[in-house]
């Protein structure tokens, strides 16, 4: 489980293509504190560390493997060397829950429609598939590329969020642009409320 509070910005160092795809990610995490088998959210997608080491510049590298299903249902299928990705270590019992409960299971892919300035913050407008849009509500939470964000306004399949300067600096949102695809995970509570309201019995 995760909270949507990004702990580092990683960089894709290498991509090994095949039926599954293997990615090598550089980060500032301490390799002594990241175990083989650990779960790390990469742009909101929970992946398992299968190998790790230290680079000459002191950064950590770790390898993860993504299945064909993951590549098809997330943005990972388009990842290339040099891409920057939002990273979050898994939540530990007793950690502060600063965002909202995030599973690391991406529900679908959305798109940034526009980015506009509002003071020092930026207003992002997104479009998501209709099957996800019904779970997104004003003042509700949504995880976009792994980042816990609060929804400002909703209009059909589009919605807006405000991203403050601090979030822009410590995540990849500072360089995000219109036309970019993003991983979307809807709020877990919204999912279960919708299920309960629809359930008619067995």
**79, 112: one domain:** no
pLDDT in tens, 113-150: 999 999 999 999 999 999 999 999 999 999 999 999 99
Looking at the domain assignment, is residue 194 inside a domain? yes
Quick one: what percent of the chain has pLDDT higher than 70?
Answer: 99
**126, 55: one domain:** no
The boundaries of the domain holding residue 28 are 8-89
Q: Which pLDDT does position 199 carry in this prediction?
A: 67
Domain harbouring 153, CATH code: 2.40.30.20
Looking at the domain assignment, is residue 125 inside a domain? yes
Domain count, the chain: 2
Mean of all residue pLDDT scores within the chain? 93
Looking at the domain assignment, is residue 3 inside a domain? no
The model's pTM is 0.93
Residue 110: which residues within 8 A CB-CB, separation 6 or more?
Answer: 126, 127, 128, 129, 132, 144, 181, 182, 184
**118, 69: one domain:** no
Last residue of a domain, one of 21, 56, 89: 89
């Amino acid at each position: 489980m995760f909270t949507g509070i990004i702990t580092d910005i990683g960089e894709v160092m290498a991509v090994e293509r095949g039926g599954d795809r293997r990615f090598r990610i550089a980060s500032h995490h301490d390799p002594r504190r990241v175990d083989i088998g650990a779960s790390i959210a990469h742009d909101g997608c929970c992946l398992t560390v299968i190998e790790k080491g230290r680079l000459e510049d002191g950064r950590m590298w770790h390898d993860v493997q993504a299945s064909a299903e993951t590549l098809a249902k997330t943005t990972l299928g388009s990842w290339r060397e040099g891409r920057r990705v939002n990273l979050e270590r898994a939540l530990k019992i007793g950690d502060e829950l600063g965002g909202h409960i995030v599973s690391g299971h991406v529900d679908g892919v959305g798109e940034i429609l526009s980015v506009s300035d509002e003071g020092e913050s930026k207003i992002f407008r997104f479009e998501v598939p209709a099957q996800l849009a019904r779970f997104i509500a004003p003042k509700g939470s949504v995880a976009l590329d792994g980042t816990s964000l609060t929804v400002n306004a909703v209009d059909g399949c589009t919605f807006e969020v405000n991203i403050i300067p601090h979030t822009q600096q410590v995540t990849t949102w500072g360089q995000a642009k219109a036309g970019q695809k993003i991983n979307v995970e809807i709020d877990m509570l919204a999912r279960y409320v919708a299920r309960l309201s629809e359930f008619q019995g067995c």
